[in-house]
Structure 1
């Protein structure tokens, strides 16, 4: 058996770290003297320290490391999971590198930083009949409301004739308490449907990560102001791709801001 100082030296890890591992239940001493409370470790526990070191390096959580120390059979699964996460992060940072290069070029040429104003078009949106659900929700429950929409469509035997959409009715961005309507365009007209009128609208077709949507909305708002328009109704979006199937950077959303000349 090794004292905590001997084990610390052998494992090349500070004794205070070993005490912390003991406190959180990650690596308990093999023995604690009942008289003086001295901690003692077995030589075999050096392998656990090495495991902890490498799994921390791979950004494993405390719970994941604890699971491996309790059951070594989980290790291959965890390593494969971490490899998959790292590949995803590498792709994400590669995309960020490309975006930074684009922004640097835009700034050098006197353009706007992270804005999409050059992609905005003034169009006439068509009149559409919608089957929809509308609730005031926490925006993080967006997916649950979408599930409710499709569930009610199934019950009503509604066949969509276009991409699902969202209409944001709140006057300000209040994510915990948002007045949100989710809908699908349909051909049938009955008492459970409503009409979305035709609008003159500023349109932006966006492809990318949903985290960039604030820049999309800022671009549309700035374009409207600079071109002497003002918003006359709630913005709405069409989701051309399914986020559960598309890669995060491959999502396609078409955003409309109904406007009129100021």
Structure 2
């Protein structure tokens, strides 16, 4: 048996952290002396602690690690395999985002050096005034926090597509997201995920046609805030006001586009002319 200090030294984990891991049920001492409260770990627990450390180095949260370790023994390898694949994908997406950010910074450095405003790309965004057609939407509406969005888009759109496939519904358009909150709140925003279909069934609603200011982004979703800013600026200059919730239509499937620069997203602002 190893004392908590010996176990801590071998695994390079503080005794404070080991006590916390015990509290949350991640790794519990094999033996605790009832008289003095001393904690002891077995040699076999070294391997478990090393797995925990390895998964932490892969940016697994403690909750994710506990979920993997809590799997039944006959499922542990399969569960670990799936968890590693998911985490690899997450890290690759972060790397892609960092690569895009590095390229963007490099371009901004060149532009600023040459006297070009850092937000000059806003001048190249076009805005059109269009009349949209009514749509019948199969939808899911949720309160989404900032941490929910990345996984949420795939989760809820997949659920809608599964319903379309299982009930043999007629697809009439690409996925769209409607943002109903009046202001941005990192803790939660009223968000509607929708796909246009032909059939009027339970779980569908009408989206009336209306006058919209429309702009199109070709590039990563991180640039959508620029499109929103451009649309609001255009509406202000042209004497229009926003009358309903803005929405995005995803022309390209993010899972089909090889790079984020190839994503095509339409942004619609329902508007009306302000009274003179």
The TM-score with structure 2 as length reference comes to: 0.65
CA contact (8 A) 1:132 1:182 kept: no
CA RMSD of the aligned region, Å?
A: 4.4
Give the 3 Å change call, closer, same or farther, for CA 222–195 of structure 1 in structure 2: closer
1:64-213 aligned within 5 A: 64-70=64-70, 71=73, 72-73=76-77, 74-108=79-113, 109-113=115-119, 116-121=122-127, 123=128, 125=130, 127=131, 129-132=133-136, 138=142, 140=144, 143=156, 147=160, 160=172, 172-173=182-183, 196=209, 203-213=214-224
Deviations 1:84-135 (A, max 9, x none): 22222211211121222233334443324385231224x453x554233599
* Residue 10 of structure 1: how far off its partner (Å): 2.9
* Residue 246 of structure 1: how far off its partner (Å): 5.0
Give the 3 Å change call, closer, same or farther, for CA 196–25 of structure 1 in structure 2: closer
Q: Does 1:214 align with 2:218?
A: no
The TM-score with structure 1 as length reference comes to: 0.68
What is the alpha-carbon distance in structure 2 between the residues aligned to residue 79 and residue 194 of structure 1?
Answer: 41
What is the alpha-carbon distance in structure 2 between the residues aligned to residue 28 and residue 193 of structure 1?
Answer: 55
1:28-47 aligned within 5 A: 28-47=28-47
Aligned length: 245
Say which of 231, 236, 240 aligns to 1:230: 240
What is the alpha-carbon distance in structure 2 between the residues aligned to residue 24 and residue 18 of structure 1?
Answer: 10
- Consecutive unaligned residues of structure 2, counting only runs of 5 or more, are 145-151, 199-204
Deviations 1:49-97 (A, max 9, x none): 2212111111112233234445452433333332222222211211121
Give the 3 Å change call, closer, same or farther, for CA 260–171 of structure 1 in structure 2: farther
Give the 3 Å change call, closer, same or farther, for CA 47–134 of structure 1 in structure 2: closer
What is the alpha-carbon distance in structure 2 between the residues aligned to residue 10 and residue 233 of structure 1?
Answer: 63
Max radius of gyration: which structure? 1
Q: Does 1:252 align with 2:258?
A: no
CA contact (8 A) 1:208 1:252 kept: yes
CA contact (8 A) 1:132 1:181 kept: no
